[in-house]
C-alpha cells in the first residue's frame, strides 16, 4: 500500500514544473467564453491489493469549466493541458483548508476557555467555520477569489 501512495505522489509531482501545476484532459464542450474539460482523477491506492473490494479505489471522471479568451481554437475530444500557477495552488490550500482549520480550533479553544463548556465550544466553532465560508462566498460573488485561482488551458503540442 505504501508503494501505491508513493507512486501516486510521484505522478502528481511529475506533472508539476517550476512555476505551474499541470493536468491533462479532454475537451467535451465549447461555449461562448468557456471550455468544458473532462479529467480523470485516479486514487492513490491504484496499486493496492484490496482495491477490488474497496469503493474508494476507483478513478473518477470530473468535468471542469475553464474560461478561455478564444475557445474556438479548441475542438471537441481534443487533448489539452490545464495549468495553474504554483502560487495559486498554495493560495487555494490556505483559503480552503488552513484558514478554516485555524478558525475551527481557535473558536473551540477560546470558547471552552471562556465558558468551560465543551458542547458550547463545539457549536461556536462549527458556527465560526460556517461563517467563514459564508464570508468567503460573499467575497467571491464578484469573482474576486476565482480570478486569483484561475486555471488556464492550452493545446498539447
Counting residues of the chain whose pLDDT is more than 70, the rounded percentage is 69
Q: Is the pLDDT of residue 106 over 90?
A: yes
Q: Is the pLDDT of residue 148 over 80?
A: no
Give the sheet arrangement for strand 60-67, strand by strand. Answer: 60-67, 34-41, 20-30, 79-85, 152-155
Structure-derived torsion over alpha carbons of residues 45, 81, 152, 42, reported in degrees to the nearest 10: -10
> How many domains would you assign to the chain?
1
Which pLDDT belongs to residue 3?
Answer: 38
Q: Is the pLDDT of residue 142 over 90?
A: no
Decide if 27 contacts 12 (C-beta within 8 A).
no
Q: Where are the alpha helices (H) located in 19-117, listed in sequence order?
A: 86-93, 99-115
Which pLDDT belongs to residue 104?
Answer: 97
pLDDT digit string, tens, across residues 36-79: 888 876 655 555 554 554 545 455 677 877 877 777 788 888 88
Alpha carbon distance 46, 5 (integer Å): 8
Which pLDDT belongs to residue 1?
Answer: 37
Burial of 20 (0-12, 13-18, 19+ CB in 10 A): middle
pLDDT-derived band of residue 131, with 50, 70 and 90 as boundaries?
A: very high
Mean pLDDT of all residues in 7-33: 62
Higher-confidence position of 83 and 5: 83
Which pLDDT belongs to residue 74?
Answer: 84
Domain range spanning residue 35? 2-155
Name the average pLDDT for the chain.
76
| Cα dihedral 11, 148, 106, 122 sign | negative
Decide if 111 contacts 48 (C-beta within 8 A).
no
Amino acid at each position: 500500500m505504501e508503494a501505491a501512495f508513493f507512486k501516486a505522489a510521484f505522478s502528481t509531482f511529475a506533472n508539476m514544473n517550476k512555476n505551474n501545476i499541470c493536468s491533462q484532459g479532454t475537451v467535451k464542450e465549447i461555449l461562448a467564453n468557456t471550455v468544458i474539460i473532462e479529467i480523470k482523477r485516479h486514487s492513490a491506492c491504484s496499486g493496492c491489493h484490496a482495491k477490488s473490494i474497496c469503493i474508494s479505489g476507483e478513478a473518477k471522471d470530473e468535468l471542469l469549466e475553464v474560461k478561455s479568451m478564444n475557445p474556438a481554437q479548441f475542438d471537441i475530444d481534443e487533448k489539452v493541458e490545464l495549468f495553474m500557477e504554483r502560487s495559486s495552488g498554495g493560495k487555494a490550500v490556505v483559503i480552503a483548508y488552513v484558514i478554516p482549520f485555524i478558525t475551527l480550533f481557535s473558536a473551540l479553544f477560546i470558547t471552552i476557555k471562556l465558558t468551560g463548556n465543551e458542547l458550547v465550544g463545539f457549536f461556536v466553532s462549527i458556527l465560526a467555520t460556517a461563517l467563514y465560508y459564508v464570508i468567503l462566498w460573499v467575497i467571491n460573488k464578484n469573482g474576486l477569489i476565482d480570478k486569483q485561482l484561475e486555471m488556464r488551458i492550452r493545446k498539447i503540442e
